[in-house]
Amino acid sequence: MSTVDELLALGDDALIAAQRLGEWSARAPEMEEDIALANIALDQLGAARMLLTYAGELSDPPRTEDDLAFLRDDREFRNCLLVELPEADFGVTVAKLLFLSAFQKLRYEAPEPDERLAAIAAKTVKESAYHLDHSTLWTVRLGDGTEESHRRMQAAVDGLWPYTHELFEDNDLRGSWLSTVEPVLAEATLDRPADGWAPTGGRRGLHTEHLSLLLAEMQVLHRAHPGARW
């Protein structure tokens, strides 16, 4: 994977994750969590801005972070399928954040020969560690909670697990990721799903219909008023 492809993959993961988390504003199960999810969304957005800015500078012709965020269609996005899936259930949000943040933390901790990407990773890994801690607490709280919260948390883990394989198509981090995630599931009294069906295509621009709907909402203002300035 080239540096630009890597930047787009990481940046698009963070951007779409931020958009999904932002959908919980004023809808989280408690006020403190409402604020926490908003802050995590802002962390993801900040990482996306740094990554997409660098990707745009390396592109030919050069593009701005706004160009990449608001003027690409779904086939040009390189995010994994996991982050674009809808989050109608809070358990899905928690499981997605657990799986994604465990991957992001490991990826940003990995040695990076590109100095600028290494600097971005050094800043972002601290935020990823917090996201992982936060999602771990909620996974255990819900998984080892009531019968209903356990059922819904297990359903979220089962439904999302196949999509996690795509995170590791271009790296060898899955073993370390499993070492991070499996103890959390065990503490939460949740079963680790069996590996099997593994949907893919996001890194190549092949997405679910959910991304098109998300982009329509995310990009509408910028496209409706091209070149506008505050």
Q: Return the pLDDT at 26.
A: 87
HSE-up of residue 54 (Cα within 13 Å, Cβ side): 23
Range of the domain at 193: 3-224
Q: At what angle do helices 31-58 and 115-143 cross, to 10 degrees?
A: 150
Cα–Cα distance measured from residue 64 to residue 9, given in angstroms and rounded to the nearest whole number = 16
Q: Exposed e or buried b for every residue in 107-122, given b needs 16+ CB within 10 A?
A: bbeeebeeeebeebbe
Mean pLDDT of the chain: 96
At 22, phi and psi to the nearest 5? Answer: -65, -20
207-230 pLDDT, tens digit each: 999 999 999 999 999 999 987 776
Cα–Cα distance measured from residue 97 to residue 101, given in angstroms and rounded to the nearest whole number = 6
CATH number at residue 26: 1.20.1260.10
96-146 pLDDT, tens digit each: 999 999 999 999 999 999 999 999 999 999 999 999 999 999 999 999 999
Cβ neighbours around 84 below 10 Å, total: 26
Quick check: 204 pLDDT over 80?
yes
The answer as to whether 68 is a domain residue is: yes
Tokens of 52: 């997409």
Cα–Cα distance measured from residue 145 to residue 126, given in angstroms and rounded to the nearest whole number = 29
The answer as to whether 230 is a domain residue is: no
Q: ∠ CA(209), CA(192), CA(105), 5° rounding?
A: 70
Domain count, the chain: 1
Q: Exposed e or buried b for every residue in 3-15, given b needs 16+ CB within 10 A?
A: ebebbbbbbbbbb
The answer as to whether 229 is a domain residue is: no
Q: Return the pLDDT at 183.
A: 98
Cβ neighbours around 158 below 10 Å, total: 15
